[in-house]
Amino acid sequence: MTAENIVPETISRVIDVGSLEETGARHVLEPTQTELAAIARRLGIPAVNKLRGEFELTPTHAGADVILRLDAETVRTCVASLEPMLETIREEIRMSFDRNYVEDDAEDFSEDDVLREPLLGGEIDIGELLVQHLSLLLDPYPRKTDAESLAGKFRDATLLSPFSSLKGLVDRES
């Protein structure tokens, strides 16, 4: 197996933090159809119809602050009915990349705080950030609001729970 076989599919757009102007920079990232298909394969979902990331990067003394506005539409498989469904995600994520930050020194933070990340090599790959944050925002158990469970269709009516068959054993021993 070669190294290229084990590297996850990704979109890469590298920003050199040292080249950011004092006023910062704004980048909009919208993957191509080919990249969207690669992202869907990487995330193990049927499709990514739309993905857009608006990045605001502001230099700091130790790195950069990043605001990501993520807008996505994905095709998922409903866990109850196994039917395809759309999942829409709109989220704003605030991050701070710091050359001096060490992950071992990580402290607890509330949801309102900024995510702190180490800045390695003076570069931030906003393409990889976009895909990683999309993966974190996907519903782990997507379910259509009107989904009828397949369990209801195929379950044996005599077995209302997995322990129903044990009930007969207990009654016979009494």
Three-state secondary structure along the chain? CCHHHHCCCCCCCEEEHHHCCCCCEEEEECCCHHHHHHHHHHHCCCEEEEEEEEEEEEEECCEEEEEEEEEEEEEEECCCCCCEEEEEEEEEEEEEEECCCCHHHCCCCCCCCCEEEECCCCEEEHHHHHHHHHHHHCCCCCCCCCCCCHHHHHCCCCCCCCCHHHHHHHHHHC
Name the domain count of the chain: 1
Percentage of the chain lying above the pLDDT 90 cut: 60
> Once rounded to an integer, what is the mean pLDDT over residues 68-88?
94
Is residue 174 included in any domain, yes or no?
no
Is residue 38 included in any domain, yes or no?
yes
| 92-123 confidence digits (pLDDT tens) | 999 999 998 876 655 555 445 788 899 989 99
Q: Is the pLDDT of residue 2 over 50?
A: no
Is residue 169 included in any domain, yes or no?
no
The domain containing residue 29 runs over which residues? 3-147
pTM of the model as a whole: 0.77
Is residue 154 included in any domain, yes or no?
no
Is residue 164 included in any domain, yes or no?
no
